[in-house]
Amino acid sequence: MAIEILMPTLGATMKSGTILEWFKKEGEEVVEGEPLLEIMTDKIEMEIEAETSGVLLKKLYDTDVEVAVNEVLAYIGEIGEEIPEKQKVASPATDVLNEESLKSSLHSSGVDVENDVENLNKPRRTPAALKLAKERNVDLQSVAGSGPKGRIHLGDVKKYLKASDGVVKSTPLANKIADHHQIDLSAIKGTGVNGKVVSDDVKSNVVEPPHSQELTKTPETVPMQGVRKIVAKRMVESAFTAPHVTLTSEVDMSQSMELRKQLLPIIEKQINKRISYTEIIMKAVAYTLGKHPMLNASLNEDEIIIHPQINIGLAVAISNGLVVPVVKDADQKGLAELTDSCKHLGSLARDGKLTAEYMSGGTFTISNLGMYDIDAFTPIINQPETAILGVGRIHEKPVAINGALEVRPMMAVSLSFDHRIVDGAPAAAFLTELKALLENPFHLLV
């Protein structure tokens, strides 16, 4: 009997997954435990392994198709074995999944953004190809992928290395400028990684004739796909589904700064990690949510679910999208444990090693842009949660204290909440108590 391969369920809020790539063609032999296809769901790219050995009899969906959880994706069995009749393979053009399959987590602006512009066009590649590329310092942007949708395989990297022996290594933009000005790249000393010729190296060798016209610049086209595409859909879904209301307040961070100063050497000695304001804010949020449970709730059709656990998501921007790893039971953790958890999850996010376990179960989200020159912003709710807290920078400004002007370190906080679940007064009470706690943070140690 043919074995069904199903779209897995990786969390209570997951309703669908998108097929990124099939590793096998129909009729090809499959070995148990071998990667069969790659999917994306809840911002996670993961491979689905074959549960049995045999032949891939039928694929029911093409790539870039969104499929509901527990739906059959393919059949594995013996050659000639009958399979249940299904509709023909769906394609992106014929995909008719309704928009309800998109209603899951989305993420507002996050922290620790990678500033390397080249990473915005990070190529698709297999783990083996990435490992060899790192070992040999190969820029995968220069490697042509032979897999579906240009995915780079190990053989592609080997082929590139063989062909590039003795060839000047240069970036695509450097090649384009050199071709336009008919410059020999072999005569240019590269200043990039391992001597790679970059665009600035070529530009410094350009000799413009008098009254020459500037190079015609053409716009760059970046496909909206993968994580970026799903984040965009869910952001629109949240913005037009949940009636957002945002309340903003300012916090005097003088005492929080003093608390961090005193705890910094203690926690660093204990766990070899430095506490940041993020952990202090998270601790204060978790404490305040315990007193305002309606902010720690979610909407499921006509029911409001008030969660017994306080699991706080921390929005983290990565090179090609946004993820929100979750700190479970944040209210039960001390500041040292929160520091350890946040630093660990941030590292996993930037290395692309987050699994569904780290991404599920969130009940409230914090989005911190404090490392940028941003005073305040309006975060978008990470559905199905009720609220999200946006955090701006800490900067000194004059404020009135007992009738006199003083310079204090002030920080703006913005609370966006779903007005279907919470009214303005309860949300304002939450933000007011959070402000008071951050201005008197030593209460967190009691």
Nearest-5° Cα angle at 9, 295 to 420: 25
Say what angle helices 127-135 and 154-164 make with each other, to 10 degrees. 30
Concerning whether 153 is annotated as a catalytic residue, the answer is no
Residue owning tokens 């506490």: 275
Q: With contact defined as beta carbons under 8 Å apart, do 139 and 175 qualify?
A: no
Q: With contact defined as beta carbons under 8 Å apart, do 117 and 32 qualify?
A: no
Question: Roughly how many angstroms between the first and final C-alpha of the chain, as a whole number?
Answer: 63
The pair of structure tokens assigned to 283 is 């601790």
Q: Which helix or strand (DSSP H or E) is residue 250 part of?
A: strand 244-252
Residue owning tokens 């070992």: 135
Q: With contact defined as beta carbons under 8 Å apart, do 105 and 365 qualify?
A: no
Catalytic one of 180, 344, 419, 443: 419
Question: Average pLDDT by consecutive 10-residue portion of the chain (446 residues)?
Answer: 82 76 88 84 74 88 86 88 63 39 38 38 69 76 74 79 66 77 76 74 73 61 62 67 87 93 92 93 95 92 90 83 86 93 88 81 91 89 90 92 90 93 93 95 82
Distances (CA, A) of 216 to 84, 178, 298: 57, 14, 52
Counting beta carbons within 10 angstroms of the beta carbon of residue 333, is it exposed (0 to 12), middle (13 to 18) or buried (19 or more)? buried
Tell whether the torsion through CA atoms of 175, 176, 177 and 178 is positive or negative. Answer: positive
The pair of structure tokens assigned to 358 is 């780290």
Query: Could you tell me the domains of the chain?
Result: 3-97 (2.40.50.100), 119-203 (4.10.320.10), 226-445 (3.30.559.10)
Looking at 115-253, list the stretches that DSSP marks H as alpha helix, in order from N- to C-terminal side: 127-135, 154-164, 172-181, 199-203, 226-241
Q: With contact defined as beta carbons under 8 Å apart, do 215 and 377 qualify?
A: no
Nearest-5° Cα angle at 156, 33 to 62: 55
What pLDDT score was predicted for residue 97? 37
* Per-residue DSSP letter, 352: T
The pair of structure tokens assigned to 101 is 């399959």
Instruction: Give the C-alpha separation, 117 to 121, whole Å.
Output: 8
What pLDDT score was predicted for residue 208? 62
Single-letter code of the amino acid located at 89: V
Residue 251 backbone class (left: φ over 0; alpha: ψ -120 to 50; beta: rest) = beta
Instruction: Give the C-alpha separation, 54 to 71, whole Å.
Output: 20
What pLDDT score was predicted for residue 65? 84
Neighbours of 91 (CB within 10 A): 12
**What's the count of helices (H) and strands (E) in the chain, helices before strands?**
10, 18
Q: List the one residue out of 408, 432, 111, 426 whose CA is nearest residue 279.
A: 111
Residue owning tokens 């350009």: 206
Nearest-5° Cα angle at 323, 106 to 275: 125
What pLDDT score was predicted for residue 324? 87
